Structure 1
Amino acid sequence: MEKLLCRVTSLSEERDQLQEILEGLRQEKNELRAQLEDSMGTQQTEIAQLSLCLQTVTEHKKQLEDDLQQSTNTASMTQELLTSIQEELCEQRQMNSDLQKLSEEKECCSDQQIKNLTQKLRSIEAERDNLLSEKEAGGQTSTEEMEKLLCRVTSLSEERDQLQEILED
């Protein structure tokens, strides 16, 4: 009996120790659970923040891609416009060169015309002077000769006017 009592006492002590251990393990388990929940809450918050950050970065990346595409399109259009303007400028330069040559040719031709008309005018003036000298020397001239002289003077006046116009141009 004594052995049995001793055994019961021993088992009771062992049970009490095991209950203390069990209680300690339960407390530790509850603490670990609380820490895990805190950790999970913190991780959920971090995940939410990272998701928001990822969304912001993704939107920013999309905006940058759109801006890059727009810049590329603008650069392409600008390049096309520049090429067009350069071609137009080249054509304009060629046209200016052609007009310059044409102007020089016309000026040269006008100079030659002026020389020819000036010589012709001098020749006609000399002829007129000769006719006037003959008239003075010969006395009265006939009406027919007078008409010829008048016609010739009119012609000379017209040529002189033409020369004046050419010189003014």
Structure 2
Amino acid sequence: MTMANAFSETSGATPELAARQHWMSVLARADINALESYWRNLAQQPSYRCLRKPEIGLAMVRGRAGGTGAPFNLGEVTVTRCVVELETGAQGFGYVTGRSRRHAELAALFDGLMQQDSDQHGAALIQPLHRQWLARREQVSRKAAATKVNFMTMVRGS
């Protein structure tokens, strides 16, 4: 079962929507240098125009007390968004955390390209980027686990 199919089963989204949500999340978390490299190495770079040039704003981040409790406003995070239209008419959207206008533009470009040919770009771009993100996440988890302290409670004079 693919990540997109697993997501669609739990969220009620169609498989197409779930697949797009997956690749957009991968593009948003991707290293900008990997995106730039893929763009430079494309055999044919499509022409495009910005419908909404990259712009920086804020979004409210919500949390839940204890992870499952009542929701609360945790704080704001900087977000950059961009919308492009490829020469074929496909519109791509890019939303990334932080202030990288180029990252948002590349994410929007690849969203548009994925809508046209998800098989080619999925195998060559999205899957490797997702594996890189999983490896980074695993490395951070191992580093955090190494600092874990287990406290033992002793009962005296029972």
More strand by share: 2
TM over 0.5: no
Which protein is richer in helix relative to its size? 1
Structure 2 length as normaliser, TM-score? 0.21
